[in-house]
Amino acid sequence: MSREQMLQKVRTALGRSPGQPAAPPPPVWSRIPQWTAAERVERFSRAVEALGGKPVTVENLDAARRTVEQLMAGHRAIASNAPLLTACGITSLPGVESGFTDAAAMRPVCASVAIGITSADYALADTGTLVMLSSPSEARLVSLLPPTHIAVIPESCIVANLDELLSILPKPAEQSSSMVLITGPSRTADIEQILVRGVHGPGELYVIILSE
C-alpha cells in the first residue's frame, strides 16, 4: 500500500477529505472538587491506606519528630534538606544523616540505610499521591532508594486532585528538572499477576500529616 493510499484510508475513516483542515481541539475541561481542608486530609488518608501505605496525623512539630523516632526503631535513616524536617527536629535525631548536597556522596548512604525521610511539595487527596519536585531540598534518591519511605507533610500542601495541581503549577518543567508522583509503596506484578512490593522503590510508605 502506498503512502497516499494509507492516508486516504485514514481520511475516510475520519470522514475527512484531502486538504480539509483539522477541527479545533475541544475546550479544556477540569474538575476541582470544593473540599474543605479536613475533607482533603480524610480523603488523602483513606487513599493512602487503600494503597497499602500508613497515614498518621499529628498535632505539632514535636509530635511529628516523636512519630518518626518511633518508626525508625533504632534503624539508620537519611533525611532530605526540606526545611520542615529541620523545623521538626528530625534531622537531629540519632541515626539520621542529612545535609547532603552532592549526589555522589548521598548515593552510598541512601543505599545503606533502612529509611528515607522527606517532605513533599504537594499531595493529591483523591489518589493519595505525593508530589515531589526535585531540588536541593528534595533529592529524588532519598524517596526512591531506601526500602522504607517516611514523608512528613503539612496539611496545607494537600490539593484535591491533578487538575488542581496543574492549575497551581501549569508548567512544572519550569520549576524543576523532574516531578515525581509517588502513589503508595512500590509494587509490580509478573506475568502471573502476583503482586510484589518494593521491587522498584520503597516497599513501605508512611505519611505523617501535620495539622495546622
- Confidence label for 198 from pLDDT (cuts 50, 70 and 90): low
Q: How far apart are the first and last CA of the chain?
A: 65
Give me the number of domains the chain comprises.
1
Asked, for residue 146, whether it belongs to a domain, the answer is yes
- Confidence label for 15 from pLDDT (cuts 50, 70 and 90): confident
Asked, for residue 6, whether it belongs to a domain, the answer is no
- Confidence label for 90 from pLDDT (cuts 50, 70 and 90): very high
- Confidence label for 192 from pLDDT (cuts 50, 70 and 90): low
Q: How far is CA 203 from CA 34, 54, 85, 209, in A?
A: 33, 12, 22, 20
- State the residue range of the domain holding 171: 32-210
Asked, for residue 4, whether it belongs to a domain, the answer is no
Asked, for residue 11, whether it belongs to a domain, the answer is no
Instruction: For residue range 128-157, list pLDDT tens digits in order.
Output: 999 999 888 898 899 999 999 999 999 999
Asked, for residue 202, whether it belongs to a domain, the answer is yes
pLDDT over threshold 80, residue 86: yes
54-63, 87-96, 199-208: which range is least confident on average? 199-208
pLDDT over threshold 80, residue 195: no
Asked, for residue 168, whether it belongs to a domain, the answer is yes
Q: Which grid coordinates belong to 29?
A: 475541561
pTM to 2 decimal places: 0.82
Number of neighbours of residue 120 by Cβ within 10 angstroms: 24
pLDDT for residue 197: 62
CATH number reported for the structural domain that contains residue 188 in this entry: 3.40.50.10420
Residue type, 3: R
Distance between CA atoms of residues 12 and 195, nearest Å: 44
Distance between CA atoms of residues 11 and 14, nearest Å: 5
Asked, for residue 23, whether it belongs to a domain, the answer is no
